[in-house]
Structures are given as C-alpha cells and as structure tokens.
Chains A and B, each alone.
Chain A
C-alpha cells in the first residue's frame, strides 16, 4: 500500500528542512562581521597568508557559490576541513559521535521504560496516591533543566552515596575495548570483555538518567492522560462488559492506542536530548560531541559548527521520520489516511 509514498513524502520534507537549516546558518555566518580566515590563522599571519588561505578554503567566492560547493560536498559526506584543526570535519564528528549517541540511546531506553511504566501506573490507578506521586514527580521533572539533574545526581549518587561512578566513560584502571562501533558497552560485549562492559555501563547510568528525567516526566504525564482518556471509550467498556480480564484489556487493547502520543513525544524529546547532551557531557566529562562542538564555538570554526549542527539536524529529521513510521504502524487511521 501507500506506506512507501508516505515515507517518501516525509523524506522529501526532511531534506527540505535540512537544506533550509544549512542555508540559515550559512546566511547568519555571512552576516557576522569578522574574517574567518584571519580568525583561523591568528593575528601573526601576514596579509598574503590570509589571502592564500582564503582562496584555498574558497572563502573569497561569493556566498551562493560557497554554499553550492559546500552542499555538493556535504551530499557526498564531506563536511569540509576544520579551519582550526585542519582535519576533515566529518572524520572528527565520527570520532566523537558514538559516545554522545550511546548516552542519548541509554537515556531513550530509560525514558521508554520509566515514562511508560509511571504513566501506566498513574493512569490505571487514576486519582490514587500513586497517581498524585507521579504527578508531583512529573512536575518536578518538567521544570528542572537536565543540567541541574546532572549536578544533583552526581553529588548525591556519585559523591555522597558512592553508588555509581560519575566522571568519564571508563574507570582509569580498566582497559577499554578496541573500537568497533564506538559504543563502549557494545564494543566490550562484542570482544567478550565483560569487566569493561560492566564498568562502562555503570558510568553510563548517571549522565543518561539525568538526561532522561525531563523526558520521563513528560512521557508519564502524556501516557497517563491518554490512558485515562481511552479507558472511558466505548471499545473498552464493551470489553469490560464482556467480562474480559482487566489486565488483558490493559495490555492488549488499552496500551497500544494510548502509547501513540507517548511515542511521538519520545521522538521529539530524543532529538532534544542531543542538544541537552552538550550540557550533561560537560558536567560528567563525557568524551562526546560537546567537547568538539564547544571548541568549534570558541574558535569560530565555521565548518565544524555547521557540521555539528547539520549532524544534529539529520538526527532530528531521521528520528521524526522513524516516529512517523512507528505511529503509522500503531495507528491505522494515520496509515490509511494516505490512501
């Protein structure tokens, strides 16, 4: 059926968005006063050196040609050379990306498990003490920025209780696995290094949980609302009146339609997680993209900045696409509407 057309349509929209995004950053980077070539070479470079560098990097060409050249390269996965480290931006990003991805993935898992669990409990036992507890928790989660959770968790679980390690990706006395995927826990498991896997997993817990708190709170809130909303509907009443066991109704019939808003919320917050990961990585000394991004920002390394933003944009678009597909699977009304 039309699922391919649906996906193709969404893909096209995503590409338009990415082009728009890159254009916006390009325009802003142009409007800004200051010469990127001069910034890259420092104040000691001579005028000839600056001019040579400028023409080598294509910075002397008009804006739209620069953009066109950049776009041509970007399509082939070449995001240009960093103006500061002189290394290819794409390579650098690939180097740092897996650590960030691991963090965000773990936080998504936390979000999925705890958000849906808390929301289901609150919705199932609406207006009980459990519901009120979840409501209070959601409120705290929504108004507290992730970096505050990061600091509090680090102090409480890391330093006060000594339950979990709170700096970096691995303990210093443990040898890390060889790089296969870049996800340390996965790499350790693949190479059979269970000691490193456990250590890396423990290191992952605090930062990913602090990242996930906001999402857990929102998911719980939305799942609860949606379950309460759906449990008054006719099809649930019909099942109840037929004497179908409550638990059976819950898991087979009620949960699936109720999770639709949660899934779309999770997709959105997964994309937001990547921007918040910047802050969490700084606190926990996590060797991810934030360090690279922060250096790029400090040094006005335009190619690197655009690279990092584009990678985040691509993640955002991809996640939204996946979410749309999952929702189309969960909700036949959306799937069939495209016919």
Chain B
C-alpha cells in the first residue's frame, strides 16, 4: 500500500511541472521531440514576424501584378508566384498567422467547454447529469468532425470566424470524453474522498483536486490537437468555407493552386507542404509529451 503510494507520488506524469529541469531532460532525450520543438519555434516566430521577414509584405493582401504571375520558384520568388503575381512564400508566412490563430481560438473555445462537461459528468458519475452530458457528447462524437464542421460552416456565412466557430462546436466532445475518462478514474481515490469528508465544496473538489490530475493529459492532447485543428481549418477553407480571399489562408491557397495543376505546381505544393510542416511539428512535440508523461489514452 505504502509502496504504491510512493510510486504514485513519485510518478512525474501526475505532477508534470513539479520538476521542470528533469522533465526537460527526459523530453530532450528524444531527438524527434527536439526537432519538432525547433520546427514549432521557427513557425511561430516566422508567423509573428511575418510583416518584417517576408520578402514582399505587400503581397499578403489584395495585390495584383500580372506581369509577375505564374513565376516558377527562383531566387527572387523562392516558392514562385500565384495567378495574381503574388509571392507564395510571403503568403505562406502570413497564412501561418491565420492557421495558428485558428488553432488557438478553436482550442480556447472548445477545451474549456469540453473540460467542464467532462469534469462534471465524471464527478457526477452514476447520476442523471452524467447520462445527459455523455449522451450529448456521444451524439457529437458519432459524426466525423469534418462533416459536422462543414455542415455548420455551410449554413453560416463563410468567413474565418464562422469556420472557427464550426470547428469549436465539433471539437469539444473529444475533450469531454477524455476528461471524463480521467476524472471518473480518479474520483474515488483517497484524496478526493478525504476532501469530501472534510466538507470541501463540489466546485473546490473539481477545480482544486480533480483538475490538476488532468493537466498532463490535457497538455498533451492540446499540443497534438493544434495540428489537427489547423488541418481541419485548412480543409474547411479548401472547400471555400474559411477565410475568404484575398486573406492568405493555406487551405485556400492549395485549392486555388490545384486548379492550375500540373503546369503551376508550386502554387499548391508549397502551401500544402507548409500545412504538413505545421502538423508535423505539433505532432512531434505532442508525441514527446505523451512519452514524457507516459500516457496511453491520448
């Protein structure tokens, strides 16, 4: 019993940030995680400083230079130019801003909703509240997110905000399922019971006792999901339901470019590779975190 307890508390997966230095050491043992972190760092920095580092910042918006249209990749346009004569590399860098913004907004809407519902359902296990919460979650989970997002976005006006809204609406159930699993597994442990016995309120138990148990899972899932949320956003804008031109959006650029295949291949291939790169970066870091916290469920 005592051994078990000691093991439980020494396990860094439960208190992930207790010993940052040690966690970092473990994380950095895997070269792939470091590669992912490096990529992520570069992508975020280049998105933040896009107006200063992009070769032609004025090409990010409405800009037409028909003389320069369909230029293949060269030293003056590393990724070529599009049908309006705009530099693709510039638009990719600005497109990353939209993608990252979309990921952050989607997750900061859907994670709190999902976590709250999952937490309440897990804590009230065996009551009507649990049944209602989890049945609703199941209904949302039973539809592929892309289809639901497309359905929602298509009845709304197509723009960036609405695509974020649509994706958020399809994203929260994954979190409520996940958190429900973690919370319903820990809700009967001694520290929760003792908190109940000394008369802690339900809110206190959920926020101060149960929530910290979910942090490592949540952190990993959010990292992995940034990539997938960005992908879903790109897929939505690929079918015309995302940011509208002339806003530089990676999905829109790929779908625009696919009309000019195979002659102007650079128009679609480079934005497509940019999408792969950002998903890859988040995935590598997320996998590293998963190994670090030794999670299996995520």
Question: A: which residues have CB within 8 A of B?
Answer: 16-17, 20-21, 24-25, 28-29, 32, 34, 139, 142-145, 147-148, 151-152, 154-155, 158-160, 271-272, 274-276, 278-279, 282-283, 290, 293-294, 296-298, 300, 302, 305-306, 309, 312-313, 316-317, 320
Contacts and interface: CB of A to CB of B under 8 A. Distances in A.
Contacts of B126: none
Contact of B258 (A275, A282, A306): A282
A67 to B, nearest CB: 15
A278 B283 CA distance: 25
15 contacts: A28-B152, A28-B155, A139-B283, A145-B231, A145-B275, A152-B269, A155-B262, A275-B146, A275-B147, A282-B239, A283-B261, A293-B150, A298-B240, A316-B142, A320-B142
B262 A159 contact: yes
B239 to A, nearest CB: 6
B64 interface: no
A142 B150 contact: no
Contacts of A309: 147-148, 150-151
Interface in B195-237: 227, 231, 234-235
B109 interface: no
Contact of B239 (A159, A271, A279): A279
Interface size class of B (residues with CB under 8 A): 35 or more
Of A24, A143, A298, A317, chain B has the most CB atoms within 10 Å of the CB of: A143
Interface residue SS majority, chain A: helix
B239 A145 contact: no
Given A279-B238, A305-B151, A145 B144 contact: no
A297 B149 CA distance: 12
Contacts, number: 128
Nearest to A283: B258
Given A21-B143, A147-B235, 20 more contacts: A17-B138, A24-B140, A24-B148, A28-B151, A28-B152, A143-B280, A145-B234, A145-B275, A158-B262, A159-B261, A275-B144, A275-B146, A278-B146, A279-B235, A282-B238, A282-B258, A283-B258, A296-B154, A309-B150, A313-B142
Nearest to B277: A143
A158 B275 CA distance: 22
A323 B257 CA distance: 38
A142 B279 CA distance: 9
A297 B238 contact: no
B45 interface: no
A142 B139 contact: no
B265 interface: yes
B3 to A, nearest CB: 25
Contacts of B265: 155
B78 interface: no
Given A151-B268, A151-B269, A296-B154, A316 B143 contact: yes
B132 interface: no
A305 B262 contact: no
Contacts of A282: 238-239, 255, 258
A16 B240 CA distance: 31
Contacts of A306: 151
B146 A276 contact: yes
Interface string B254-284: 1101100110010011001101100110010
A271 B141 CA distance: 12
B261 A274 contact: no
Contacts of A272: 144, 146
A145 B269 contact: no
B41 to A, nearest CB: 18
B65 to A, nearest CB: 25
Contact of A312 (B147, B258, B279): B147
B111 interface: no
Contacts of B295: none
A26 to B, nearest CB: 10
